[in-house]
Amino acid sequence: MKHTFSFHFPVITSTASQESSEVLDLSIEAFENGDFLTAMHTLLDSIHPDLRKRFGNVSGQEFHIPHGAMTIIIRFDKEHLHIKAPLVYLPAQEQIAIMRQAAAINFQDLDLSRIVLQDNQLNLEYHSPCIHSHPKKIYNVLKEICHIGEKCDRIFTHEFDAERIIHPRFTPYDFGATDYIYEAIQQSCRECQEALRLFETSRQFNEMWNILNATFLKLIYVAQPQGELLHLLQNAIRDLGRDLPLAEIVHKGKTAIRELQEKSKEDISTDLFYAETFIPGKHRSNLQNIREEYNAAFKQITTYMEAGELKKAGIRMINLFYDIYYQNQVQEDLNLTVGKALSETSAQPWSQAAPILYSALENIMLGKFRKNISHLAA
């Protein structure tokens, strides 16, 4: 493995958050002044400025907002707030099993909302008097419904073959994008296996772990998949974090790579589509938080660079950069720095790539980031 991994541009070029903490403050102020209608309107505006215009009714008191395969229905007046996400019809078969699953999710995963059976339908619901509906609390309710609702949708439709109540609004990737992602998966898996063989005979499992993790993170970054492909990749990432012997963890990762390779273009195409997102599953990128999160890794990478171990340093930096994308909605300034470093070092010798990657990492970690943005954009 004399060269870095190939870089593939993502099909969705920007995941920057549209959320505004300043507008959220206005929502809180309106709530504290007893103006619940304004509080709810500005809460929605703080999530995305176009939500009310795109998904609200004339009175501004009912909204049908898509999120993935679901639609979140929000209704309110001066006294009460009602939030519902219709999930699935109760299937004719395995009714007891699906109700047990719903009960388990209610008990284990939900703090504010609940799965409710009504008229043979399973819905995620939350109801509250307006006086108890602080904007930050309602944001957390919406976030919980969006994220646990995604889990419910996958389990109920895939494991129990239940029918969705509301047909989702998806836009499939075009054939060109699907071909591009299929080739990116195949090439990335081949490069991963080649890199693993380099460290396999010496049983350097830490390096193999970083290679596997970087590959799974990269494929999510490139493809932005949904459905079972996303589930496979997320499970592979979670398995790498399990409390097991490292050799066993690496073996599981290699199995996941082979499973990805065996997927046909037709297999992956069903999980490649554009879907609306109401409440993002990731945090807006924050430089201070990123510096704290990756400080220990930065110190280790610096040690490798100073010792001339450029391959080890490079693998860790690539893993770290893709992890930033996985954990955050990356704002455009940070996206410019990280994306530029990854693209410039695509399939380059480690002796050339590692210094470029390290320069970008150093800019982020040592506070040089903002004053160097104009230079990086040149």
Tell me how far apart the alpha carbons of residues 176 and 172 are, in angstroms, rounded to a whole number: 11
- Residues in the chain, overall count: 378
Decide if 52 contacts 39 (C-beta within 8 A).
no
pLDDT tens track of the chain, all 378 residues?
689 999 999 999 877 788 999 999 999 999 999 999 999 999 999 999 999 999 999 999 999 999 999 999 999 988 999 999 999 999 999 999 999 999 999 999 999 999 999 999 999 999 999 999 999 999 999 999 999 999 999 999 999 999 999 998 889 999 999 999 999 999 999 999 999 999 998 999 999 999 999 999 999 999 999 988 999 999 999 999 999 999 999 999 999 999 999 999 999 999 999 989 999 888 888 888 999 999 999 999 999 999 999 999 999 999 999 999 999 999 888 999 999 999 999 999 999 999 999 999 999 998 665 444 333 333
Domain 21-159 indexed as CATH 3.30.1460.10: yes
**pTM across the whole model:** 0.88
CA angle at 231 for the pair 189 and 279, rounded to the nearest 5°: 120
In order of 101, 131, 224, 248, 371, the CA distances from 234 in angstroms are: 21, 39, 12, 18, 35
Domain 173-268 belongs to what topology?
Answer: Four Helix Bundle (Hemerythrin (Met), subunit A) (1.20.120)
Helices (H), 116-264: 135-154, 175-200, 205-223, 227-240, 246-262
Q: What is the b/e burial string over 240-258, where b = at least 16 CB atoms within 10 angstroms of the residue's CB?
A: beeeeeeeebbeebbebbe
For residue 14, CA distances in Å to 96, 222, 335, 339, 365 come to 43, 11, 8, 11, 22
Place of tokens 């099909």: 11
Structure tokens at 358: 């390290």
- With a CB cutoff of 8 Å and minimum separation 6, the contacts of 378 are none
Under 8 Å CB-to-CB from 262, ≥6 apart: which residues?
none
Cβ atoms 236, 249 nearer than 8 A: no
Alpha carbon distance 360, 376 (integer Å): 9
**What does the pLDDT read at residue 373?**
39
Give the C-alpha separation, 378 to 369, whole Å.
Answer: 14
Q: Rounded to whole angstroms, what are the CA distances from 36 to 26, 45, 81, 83?
A: 12, 14, 10, 15
Spans of all domains in the chain? 21-159, 173-268, 282-378
- DSSP letter at 68 equals T
Q: Tokens in use for 178?
A: 């699907």
